[in-house]
Amino acid sequence: MIFAVTGGKGGTGKSTIATNLAIAISTKRDTILLDADVEEPNDFILLGKSLENEVPIKTIYPEIDTRKCTYCMKCVKICPEGAIVLIKGKPPVIFDKICSGCGLCFYECEDNALIKKERIIGYTYLTEISKSLKMITGKLVEGEERAYPIVLAAKRRALESYSKQSSILIVDTSAGTSNSVAASLKGSEFAIAVTEPTPLGAHDLELILSLLKKLSIPAYVIINRTGIGPEDEILRVSEKYGAEIIARIPY
């Protein structure tokens, strides 16, 4: 079984719930906890562990060979990210941090003026919490902008240890509804959306429930920090998307 713990709003206690669920379930079944919040992974902190078994994640980017470049601008025009800019009278300038590593420019350049370079954009880790609980962590290098490939790499590593017949995979997503969150959620049999009874909590709950509906993933809701505000909007949004409230955690 694969399920996700998610939430539109940050700071609702999503990771606390995910780690506690992982600990509880691991007493009965082999469990894998995937921390897919690659920009700010903190499950290892909550579990009191150091990250282990580091594997670097690399991406490619182009570098201009000025001896071969004819200033044809084909690489500039084909780049979907706008990472290659032509300054009049000079070879194209490449902003490697914007480059997505798609490789289109290499195929488009007929002068072989692009040199393929690599850089590390993140890491994945496999940490053994106990005999029945493993944690996979994705971590984006500071200053890098693209979390998506790190999420995919971490998820692949988690699936390598996952057995549908004998284990449970819990995916702790990042907050929000970005493409990285969608990538984390895909493949889940259901998702638990963690929220809080505040106006922003209700607003962001609707965003994540809408995304789950588009992905055809059944959703359940946990209201954390109950008592800090009225639950009317949380109840309305949950009912709108057919998401059952399965737990309330008092403040």
Amino acid at 50: S
The span from the CA of 169 to the CA of 25, in Å, is 10
Give the containing element (helix H, strand E) for 233: helix 232-240
| β-strand partners of 63 | 115
Q: What is the pLDDT of residue 146?
A: 87
Identify the CA nearest to 39 among candidates 23, 18, 15, 4. Answer: 15
Q: Which CATH number is 2-56+122-250's, of 3.40.190.80, 3.40.50.1220, 3.40.50.12780, 3.40.50.300? A: 3.40.50.300
Phi then psi dihedrals of residue 161, to 5 deg:
-95, -10
What value does the mean pLDDT take over residues 90-102? 88
What value does the mean pLDDT take over residues 68-89? 89
Q: What is the pLDDT of residue 164?
A: 80
Q: Where are the domains of the chain?
A: 2-56+122-250, 66-112
Span 17-34, pLDDT tens digits:
999 999 999 999 999 999
Q: What is the pLDDT of residue 86?
A: 84
* pLDDT value at 50 more than 90: yes
Average pLDDT, the chain: 94
Read off the pTM.
Answer: 0.90
3-state SS assignment for residue 130: strand
- Classified by CATH at the fold level, domain 66-112 comes out as Alpha-Beta Plaits (3.30.70)
